[in-house]
């Protein structure tokens, strides 16, 4: 039996925001008339109709539309709309209930003011108010109506004032502002500040697990916003859907249950920053984990920040020496560059990054080491190495261990970059190491799959390229007008069985300015650092070398390539001519000087000296096994007899002085 349109209209009045939702239905049917045709077709199954309703129409009106389809009355929609408009011509009181939380019951005058406020906000003078006593709010009142909250408590008023002051000071460089100026700003802000009963959006958890929470009732949250759960755990909005939001949790989810309250903060996810972070170990949220107490902060930076624009960037022209001969001579790294370190597991990737950090001692470079998904014991060993070599004083360690939730591993490199940006925009040079981005991509994949995003190649989500591009693009060398500093990035990628054509390696290779490829066979053969000269490259090249190194290191790659070819053919021949034997001997000695002990970076002036000795064939009479001992003795000899040679190498050179230095080097009795 067909129900009358007036009965349906009466039911429609019970739907939240019925008028706007009904208009949305009309707009959808007008845009796609086929949907209405199928809904009126009795041969179409109810399951299919319900599925379309759930996917297309607003949540609040879905049940009403399903009833129409179930009863075969969808064709009455126009009549129902007319009947609804007739019913709503005469205003009726909307049933609503407000919860009033207090420490002491409000006076009759206060209660009357509260009633007037609610009547104005909800157009209902007879709204029901239910009282609730709660001593934890200390003083004042909190009013809750549906998913909105009006905080008039003591803490709520403090938060309003703090937010107002932070907004006033935002964008001001406090380091350059005097104390008197800051006090005057605060006085003016406090004088102009007016407390207001501003509403807060309150959501409810409808599902939680595996570091993810789905929250219903928050309609205006934005991507990257911090939300606060009633148990004190913070989360970040990662997914904005039609009916709910997906939140990644920055803490354990054991205290969060279905029905837990969630409050918007209106703040982007960020991290405290300051000079006091140097020498400290912090987690992905900037909290200290080294047991040395709190860290004084000079400001707050969002973890997601736009990369410097093209006009704010400078070309890479200043070297960032690693202290590793094979890299500084053949694949130089400049300040502001992004050089990928790639290789299989246990091939010395972290060692190269650590050597580079150790080599920055005394060079006024701030180092940030970001550990992603590593064992806590491994991070502890690295920290001890930094301490032993007096490198921790200029280094910040950001650690998201393997035991930390995937959301913390996901935000760790962004948090480390925010710390690096703080120093860069102060005009300092920063070296940041991401160890490693393979685990970072895996953590992001886990989050995306839990958020029910569509998987793509190797089960990674479609935006995994953007994940790393927006991170690495923040590393650059900026102009003096933009701050004058630089961020040099050394991302690390772990390959499987040397496969550089896998998804994540190819993505990161295309983003970076070159790569240092470490070969497993070379490492196992005792050739360390195991840098493959054929697959490694620096797209900055000689622009990031001092002129002495640029002049002297040219022949190395050619002679190494010739050696590899001759060595491959010579094993099939028993009789070699003297010229070939000499080339093989020269190649063996060049390979030998490229070997280097771990955590012993070589100064660039010593690198120039030993390369000069090798390329000029002064080592041809030295046994291969004695090369390293000869190298040490040569450096000691020059420091004693010719101290002016290393000093001249460090200076800025032109071509004339280089020739002179070569002449000076040639006079050394080797």
Active site residues: 539
> What would the two tokens of residue 371 be?
């550990």
Which residues have C-beta within 8 Å of that of residue 539, sequence separation ≥ 6?
513, 514
Which token pair is 19? 């008028």
Rounded CA separation 130/148 (Å): 15
d(CA 176, CA 170): 14
CB-side neighbour CA atoms (13 Å) of 106: 21
Closest among 141, 124, 125 to 133, alpha carbons compared: 141
Q: Which two tokens stand for residue 143?
A: 């009013």
End-to-end CA distance of the chain: 109
Q: What angle do CA 125, 130, 134 make, to 5 degrees?
A: 135
Rounded CA separation 205/524 (Å): 52
- Sole residue written with tokens 């205006």: 220
E strands present in 451-590? 486-494, 514-518, 537-538
Angle between helices 46-56 and 33-40 (to 10 degrees): 150
Q: Rounded to an integer, what distance in angstroms lies between the CA atom of residue 574 and that of residue 586?
A: 19
3-state DSSP assignment of residue 429:
strand
Asked whether 557 and 330 are in contact (CB, 8 A), the reply is yes
- Dig out the tokens for 260 from the structure: 């837990």
Instruction: Give ∠ CA 390-391-396 in degrees, rounded to 5.
Output: 135
- DSSP letter assigned to residue 313: B
Contact, 285 vs 415, CB < 8 A? yes
Instruction: Characterize the bridge pairing of strands 212-216 and 199-209.
Output: antiparallel
């Amino acid at each position: 039996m067909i129900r009358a349109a007036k009965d349906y209209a009466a039911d429609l009045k019970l739907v939240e925001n019925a008028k706007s939702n009904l208009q949305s239905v009309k707009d959808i049917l007008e845009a796609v008339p086929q949907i209405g045709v199928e809904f009126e077709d009795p041969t179409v199954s109810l399951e299919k109709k319900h599925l379309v309703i759930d996917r297309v129409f607003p949540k609040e009106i879905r049940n009403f539309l399903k009833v129409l389809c179930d009863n075969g009355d969808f064709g009455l929609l126009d009549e129902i709309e007319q009947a609804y408009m007739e019913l709503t011509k005469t205003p009726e009181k909307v049933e609503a209930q407000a919860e009033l939380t207090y420490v002491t019951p409000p006076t009759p005058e206060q209660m009357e003011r509260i009633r007037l406020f609610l009547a104005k906000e909800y157009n209902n003078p007879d709204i029901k108010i239910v009282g609730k006593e709660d001593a934890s709010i200390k003083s004042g009142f909190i009013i809750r109506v549906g998913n909105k909250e009006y905080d008039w408590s003591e803490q709520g008023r403090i938060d309003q004032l703090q937010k107002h002051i932070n907004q006033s000071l935002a964008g001001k460089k406090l380091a350059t502002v005097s104390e008197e100026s800051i006090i005057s700003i605060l006085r003016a802000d406090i004088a102009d500040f007016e407390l207001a009963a501003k509403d807060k959006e309150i959501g409810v958890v409808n599902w939680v697990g595996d570091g993810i929470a789905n929250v219903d009732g928050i309609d205006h949250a934005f991507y990257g916003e911090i939300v606060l759960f009633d148990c004190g755990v913070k989360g970040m909005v990662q997914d904005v859907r039609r009916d709910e939001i997906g939140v990644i949790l920055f803490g354990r989810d054991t205290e969060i249950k279905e029905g837990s309250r969630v409050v918007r903060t209106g703040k982007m996810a960020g991290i405290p920053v300051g000079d006091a972070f140097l020498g400290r170990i912090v987690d992905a949220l900037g909290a200290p984990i080294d047991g040395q107490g709190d860290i004084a902060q000079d400001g707050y930076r969002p973890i997601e920040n736009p990369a410097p624009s093209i006009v704010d960037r400078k070309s890479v022209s200043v070297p960032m020496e690693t202290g590793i001969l094979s890299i500084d001579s053949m694949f130089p790294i400049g300040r502001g560059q992004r050089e990928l370190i790639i290789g299989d597991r246990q091939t010395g990737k972290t060692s190269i990054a650590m050597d580079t950090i150790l080599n920055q001692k005394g060079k006024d470079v701030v180092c940030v080491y970001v550990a992603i998904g590593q064992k806590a014991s491994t991070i502890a060993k690295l920290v001890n190495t930094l301490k032993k070599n007096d490198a921790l004083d200029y280094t910040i360690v950001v650690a998201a261990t393997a035991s930390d939730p995937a959301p913390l591993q996901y935000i760790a490199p962004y948090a480390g970059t925010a710390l690096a940006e703080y120093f860069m925009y102060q005009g300092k040079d920063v070296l940041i190491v991401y160890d490693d981005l393979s685990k970072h991509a895996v953590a992001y994949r886990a989050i995306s799959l839990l958020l029910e995003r569509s998987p793509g190649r190797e089960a990674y989500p479609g935006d995994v390229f953007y994940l790393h591009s927006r991170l690495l693009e923040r590393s650059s060398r900026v102009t003096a007008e933009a701050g004058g500093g630089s961020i040099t990035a050394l991302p690390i990628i772990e390959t499987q069985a040397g496969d550089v054509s896998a998804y994540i390696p190819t993505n990161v290779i295309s983003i970076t300015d070159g790569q240092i490829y470490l070969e497993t066979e070379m490492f196992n053969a005792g050739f360390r650092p195991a840098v493959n000269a054929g697959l490694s490259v620096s797209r900055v090249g000689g622009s990031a070398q001092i002129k002495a190194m640029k002049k002297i290191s040219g022949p190395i790659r050619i002679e190494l390539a010739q050696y590899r070819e001759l060595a491959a053919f010579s094993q099939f021949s028993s009789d070699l001519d003297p010229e070939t034997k000499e080339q093989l001997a020269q190649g063996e000695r060049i390979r030998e000087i490229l070997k280097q002990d771990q955590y012993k970076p070589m100064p660039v002036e010593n690198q120039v000296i030993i390369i000069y000795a090798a390329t000029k064939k002064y080592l041809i009479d030295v046994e291969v096994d004695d090369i390293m001992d000869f190298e040490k003795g040569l450096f000691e000899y020059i420091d004693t007899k010719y101290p002016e040679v290393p000093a001249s190498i460090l200076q800025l050179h032109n071509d004339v002085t280089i020739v002179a230095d070569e002449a000076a080097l040639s006079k050394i009795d080797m």
